[in-house]
Amino acid sequence: MPVSISKINSSERRITFHADMDSFFASVEVRERPELKGLPVVVGSDPKGGSGRGVVSTCSYEARKYGIHSAMPISQAYRLCPDAVFLPVNMKLYAGVSEKIMELLKGFADRFQQVSVDEAYLVPGPEITSFEEAALYALRIKDEVQKQEGITCSVGVGPNKLIAKIASGFQKPDGLTVVRHEDVREFLFPLPVSKIPGIGEKTADALKSMGLNRVEELANCDVQLLSGKFGKMGLRMKQLANGLDFGEVREKESVKSISRHGTFAEDTSDPVKITGSLDLLAESVHSSLLKNRFLFKTVVLTVRFEDFSTYTRSKTIPIWTSDIFVIKKTAMQLLSEFIGNRKLRLVGIGVTRLRERDEKQTLITDF
């Protein structure tokens, strides 16, 4: 297990952990089938001999040696490693394991925030007063996850959420990296700007066109120059590059959106197939709304064309509702912009601006 611990003292005042399961879906599958250990395992849609649709959900580290990664088209993953073990997504299994892991992590936390099915932030109790104690505490967390759930996790420990998040991915898999306050810049500055959470491929390319390749260069860049190029995001990026993050670890807020999407078996411009698919997705969204007792005000449409270009459109309605006909009608209105000669690969529908239903509320759905 790789471990990296920066110099430690006992006077630190704020310690944050980020725990991230290693290749979670694939790890759970290997746990269930020990004969897969050491093999390249890819979890996603059926590759169908290299002609399959969809993408890789996750893969084992053995598969990553072939260049396979999450969100890669499954057909490309097959071409890179046709001998890999390709498995369908078993979300029910992963969700059950995730629930157990999150309950385990909560037992180590004074404050806790789950951010996805396989990662969470936590702040330990007041008994952890130094980063040296935090390192030992993190080892206990890792050991308990391994013993109780049979998978490994990587843990980052730092003075805030930003540093903890980056540190958890620093030495995957099964890693532990601890960074104290005064070593933040030494830790961050050599990294590429893409390591800053929120800086995606396009933003990283834009920064590189400005000569900003490493975090140190971004941290020292004139804030007016960044603001002129990126607006408010420019200031935020400079703060993060300097290791400043004031976000608190807290329980995840209530659900903010519900969405469903589907990839067509073949790219299509057939309006009947497209609207039929959207109809089914809308019904699935509606079912989740009712199950969770939510009302919505905004409908969001997502379309992806055969060249992978992706567009979203949204419309906010004047009233709160959970009416299936409102979802479908609004979705069709938004879809009309994209129906034509170009073929669609994917279509998705979602609702946002949610709130819980008031039993006494009368819903108006005609608009």
Tokens of 324: 């299936």
Return the C-alpha torsion angle 181, 187, 191, 194, nearest 10: -30
Distant-in-sequence, close-in-space partners of 139: CB < 8 Å, separation ≥ 6:
176
Whole-number Å distance between alpha carbons of 8 and 137: 14
List C-alpha distances in Å: 85 to 39, 44, 62, 65: 7, 11, 11, 14
Distant-in-sequence, close-in-space partners of 25: CB < 8 Å, separation ≥ 6:
43, 57, 58, 89, 90, 94
344, β-bridge pairs: 268, 305
Which among 319, 233, 237, 324 is positioned nearest to 278, based on CA atoms? 324
The tally of CA atoms less than 13 A away on the side-chain side of residue 166 is 27
Whole-number Å distance between alpha carbons of 173 and 188: 20
Q: Which residues are catalytic?
A: 119
Whole-number Å distance between alpha carbons of 340 and 352: 27
What is the helix (H) or strand (E) element at residue 305, kind and residue range?
Answer: strand 294-305
AA letter at 279: D
The tally of CA atoms less than 13 A away on the side-chain side of residue 365 is 15
